[in-house]
Structure 1
Amino acid sequence: MARAPGTATTTPPPTPAPEAFRWRGRWLDHWEPENPRCWRGGGRATAWKNLVFSVFAEHLGFSVWTLMSIVVVHLDSVGYDFGVGRTFWLLIVPNLVGAALRVPYTFAVPLLGGRAWTTLSSSLLLIPCLMLAHAVTNEGTPYWFFLLTAAAMGFGGGNFSSSMANISFFFPEHRKGLALGLNAAGGNLGVAVSQLLVPVVIGLGTGTNLAYAALMWMPVVIVAATCAWAFMDSVTAARPDGNSYRSALRNRHTWVMSVLYIGTFGSFLGFSFAFPTLISMSFTDHGEYVSLAFLGAAIGSVTRPLGGWLSDRIGGARVTLWTFVALVLGALGVLAGVSREDFPLFFGAFVALFVLTGIGNGSTYRMIPVIFAAEAERAAGNRGTDPAVVAASARRQAGAVVGVCGAVGAFGGVLINLVFRSSLDDAGAGIRPALLVLVAFYVGCLAATWWFYLRRRFAVDREPGLPHARV
């Protein structure tokens, strides 16, 4: 119908979001980070504000998740002697629970909204803190209660997936690498902060006060939950995408990348949980150096963005390949340090392993969107699909693969600690057998990287909507 001259053009009101997804609080109903005008008109400030509070909450999650890695080292001094096997289960269980929670935590963000879920998931961290305070202040607390406390610490492990999923909705594609890298690195640093501060705090006053290890985090948990509720936002357009997960589970590259992620992120987690205990058990004369264990997780966290930066320039597969070459050499260096009872060599080589796992975390994460963009373009070329549809499909599937790989990689940390536990249980063997298993595994990851992504050109020269990118 023709419009009469002078009649103002009316814009139909936006369709409101379904009430099922409208949680109380701020919702961004028309969030378009890819639109430069919207991004400059307040979108950038909103995205970075949410990133800051997301990093805070995720950082705290990692701090509580790995809290038991310091507590177990001091249990003997307060009258609890659980032995090697049961001690390692206190390290394995939080890792196991955190890994299992990663997939449901990812779906929680679209269901409840990033603001509400970050508030709730942060508040849940009060539970393991209260349980730990009770366990170490009541004489004769049974082992099963410590094990249950360790399991509750796994709540912090799920926060990584929900935080990454939430932040991915706020940034345009060409800025997601930096945003997700900062989010991941800021979270991982929680391990180092916990391992740095807890030994200092529990030594305040007379003797060893393990209750302080729990009590110190409780005010911070309350602050993180309050900030999330007061300042964060939720994106209405975020929806659970079961189809992308089903497609990802059927794709062989999901499982190849999951194995490689075990070698990088799984190693980082396994080493982070075990490093203080390995120092105290392998070098009994150097127990005072357990307080230096935080250096490994700290350096490994800050090198994660370096892996992504290098991958943008020379290709993620190349960076990953050479990372696994160096991991083989690093594990052999740790083996030499243990065999020669050379603590500086052992410690230096282990810190190098943390550095390499950080770089590998960044490079494997960067490989995923490029691989699935190439896969989607190949499939579209055969069917003549619209490139914009292809790009959107690739982003959704890559996001699903990141969730799957994150969960499998976290389970990899469990496997690494099981290997250390089995090795230390073998009288007189120490951690030498475990290190040889790691060397063999890294060689396998090296071969898989070359076979699937480097022996021939895998990726297209151009990822949809992005500048030149290589696997």
Structure 2
Amino acid sequence: MAKITKWEPEDPQFWAQTASPIAWRTCGITTFSLIFSFATWFVMSAVVVRLPNIGFKFTTGELFWLAAIPGLASGILRLIHAFFIPVLGTRPVISIATIIKLIPMIWLGYAVQDTNTTWGTFMVIGFLSGMGGGDFSSYMPSTSIFFPKRLQGVSMGIQAGIGNFGVSVVQFVTPWIIGGAMLGAVVGGPQLFTKATPFNKGDVTLTKVAADPTAVGVDCKKKDAPCVVTDIVISNPDLAAAIVLVREGDVLKDVVIQDTDKVKAIQSGTTKDASGVITEIKPTKGIAVAITRNPAGAISNVVISNVVKKPMWVQNAAFWYVPCLILAFILSVIFLRSIQKPGKGFKGQFEILSTKNRALTHQWNCVITYITSFGSFAGYAAAFPLMIKVIYGGFDGAPEPLAYAFYGPLIGGLSRAVTGPIFDKWGGSKGMFWTFLGLIIGCLVLIFGGFLTPTGVDKFQGFFYVMLWIFLMTGIANAATFRQYPIVFGYSPSKGAQILGWTGAWAAFGPFVFASLIGMSIERTGSAITFFIGASIFYAYAFFLNWYYYTRKGAERFDYGNSGGTWWDKAKDSWTGGE
């Protein structure tokens, strides 16, 4: 199908008679495709919280890296995608980018069924899943080219906002779709899901002493202290009747479960075929005792837990995207069109990094503010499920991560979609001014409110609502950027489109940077406080750039909206800088 050679969306007559139907059709189809791009990008963040429960022995750090790695790939791929649309056109780029995502989804679906799959293999799959985030830098420039400036905030806000729902889709649908064999035996059998919830300290109390009786100053309350268990006091009478302490003299040698009418030891509930493959899993409940011994064989720790075992089809989390991607591919091939834009090829696209018309300065500012908006949204979306699991998962009555995590991206995406028209009227820089302040406040509340270092699950509600506030701020800020960036480069529509892809490329590293740094902060310091201190400082820097260059009175490239005017409205009649 030939490219469209004449495209003048700023001409009211051409827009009404020719351009509008094509532009909105393109926006609708690419938005549908974008939903599943975001979903496949974030599918690893939903799957990773289930891996320990189905038999994979990965550390906390490794789990955060699995959630982070799609962000590394998406950032790299967005740097490439940022130049595709002006050169190759919408139809081939979107079509190929859609169908190629079948590779990681099918691979992931089979990988989770084999507990021998290595962490390195999952890292490769996660990297390939990043293709779903990489092509975002082709969607936004495409929409920018199809629409007039007055509707770019609306159109791109709708597309990106609804597209962002893909993150909520993956985190909302995953717990539901992996609960049954909905896709049939053709995609594999169930995995054994095991969840152990330790009894709280009030029910089970351990008495510990130094393993070496001659040692001085050993604090047995500290984790990994060289101590041994000498006694266990159980205040729960039903549990106490079922726990038997085996001793040799004064030495505790074992802890075993003796079934009673009210307390039973957990049973496997699995049926396997001759080759050892699980064919059936019956849900079971009971208690289990986990004993840790030191090198000398003495008991150093005992954990008594309520255990639930049930079947789970984790592969469904990946396989259900296959028909959706195929449908999006077919729609893209049949209905999308490409616009023939005069340009200078791939080499010419790098002029946005030149000093001409101060492009280099403003692309830096846009990169920083876009990392603050979309980079934060994507980063927190990737890390949120694991943050809930790691920070609050060890308490009695711990929240189910995926039952809460989808609300954050949902609120961010919805706010992104509905606030675009507001910033077309008021200006994008004003929106970023207030939302960046909101992000700083949210981080400070997390730090000083004790929500990152809880002593019980009672802090979770506050943590959850502050995170929702942060997601809200990122979504609104993101809508503001779609209005502002084409205005910053108002002298060149092609560069206005390119800056959306370029900034999106750097912001796509958000899941990688945020998830890996949050995980590193927790592993090295015991909490995520260090990360959020750094985030607050970064947000303050972005706030200053936005205020100085775009918001304050007399700013170099101000944007006060359709009602207040822009720097380009003032400068275009006398502009001599070219594109």
- TM-score higher than 0.5 here? yes
Write the mapping of 1:164-179 to structure 2, written as runs, cut at 5 A: 164-179=140-155
- From 293, 298, 301, the equivalent of 2:405 is 293
Going from structure 1 to structure 2, the CA distance change for 1:44 and 1:213 (only over 3 Å counts) comes to same
In structure 1, the residue matched to 2:531 is: 434
Residue 472 of structure 2 corresponds to residue 355 of structure 1: yes
SS for the counterpart of 2:509 is: helix
- From 416, 430, 434, the equivalent of 1:322 is 434
In structure 2, the residue matched to 1:137 is: 113
User: Offset at 1:460?
Assistant: 6.4
Write the mapping of 1:150-161 to structure 2, written as runs, cut at 5 A: 150-161=126-137
Letter in 2 for 1:246: E
- From 46, 60, 68, the equivalent of 2:36 is 60
Going from structure 1 to structure 2, the CA distance change for 1:38 and 1:452 (only over 3 Å counts) comes to closer
2:172–2:406 CA contact under 8 A, matched in 1: yes
1:245–1:400 CA contact under 8 A, matched in 2: no
Letter in 1 for 2:503: C
- From 487, 490, 500, the equivalent of 1:402 is 500
2:428–2:559 CA contact under 8 A, matched in 1: no
Q: Calculate percent identity across the aligned residue pairs.
A: 30
In structure 1, the residue matched to 2:383 is: 274
- From 313, 316, 328, the equivalent of 1:212 is 316
CA distance in 1, matches of 2:121, 2:485: 40
In structure 1, the residue matched to 2:278 is: none
1:61–1:156 CA contact under 8 A, matched in 2: yes
In structure 2, the residue matched to 1:420 is: 518
Going from structure 1 to structure 2, the CA distance change for 1:89 and 1:300 (only over 3 Å counts) comes to same
In structure 2, the residue matched to 1:243 is: 348
In structure 2, the residue matched to 1:162 is: 138
Q: Deviations over 1:376-421 (max 9, x none)?
A: xxxxxxxxxxxxxxx4x3x222222222211122224422223202
CA distance in 2, matches of 1:54, 1:216: 20
2:373–2:477 CA contact under 8 A, matched in 1: yes
- From 89, 98, 104, the equivalent of 1:128 is 104
- From 156, 163, 176, the equivalent of 1:200 is 176
- Judging by fraction of residues, say which structure has more strand: 2
- From 36, 42, 45, the equivalent of 2:12 is 36
1:137–1:211 CA contact under 8 A, matched in 2: yes
CA distance in 2, matches of 1:467, 1:326: 25
Going from structure 1 to structure 2, the CA distance change for 1:292 and 1:422 (only over 3 Å counts) comes to same
In structure 2, the residue matched to 1:283 is: 392
- From 305, 324, 329, the equivalent of 1:225 is 329
SS for the counterpart of 1:207 is: strand
Point out the more displaced range, 252-261 or 268-277. 252-261
CA distance in 1, matches of 2:112, 2:370: 35
Q: Deviations over 1:160-203 (max 9, x none)?
A: 11111222222222222211111111211111111110111111
Going from structure 1 to structure 2, the CA distance change for 1:416 and 1:123 (only over 3 Å counts) comes to same
Q: Deviations over 1:412-452 (max 9, x none)?
A: 4422223202111125x222222222222222222333333
Greater radius of gyration (CA)? 2
CA distance in 1, matches of 2:126, 2:439: 29
1:263–1:412 CA contact under 8 A, matched in 2: no
Which 5+ residue runs of structure 1 have no aligned equivalent? 1-24, 374-390
Going from structure 1 to structure 2, the CA distance change for 1:408 and 1:461 (only over 3 Å counts) comes to closer
Letter in 1 for 2:62: R
2:420–2:480 CA contact under 8 A, matched in 1: yes
Q: Deviations over 1:359-389 (max 9, x none)?
A: 111223322233333xxxxxxxxxxxxxxxx
SS for the counterpart of 1:235 is: coil
Q: Deviations over 1:285-330 (max 9, x none)?
A: 4232432211100110111145543433443223212212111111
TM-score (norm 2): 0.69
Going from structure 1 to structure 2, the CA distance change for 1:27 and 1:210 (only over 3 Å counts) comes to same
CA distance in 1, matches of 2:175, 2:96: 28
Which 5+ residue runs of structure 2 have no aligned equivalent? 182-309, 568-579
Letter in 1 for 2:509: F
2:46–2:385 CA contact under 8 A, matched in 1: yes
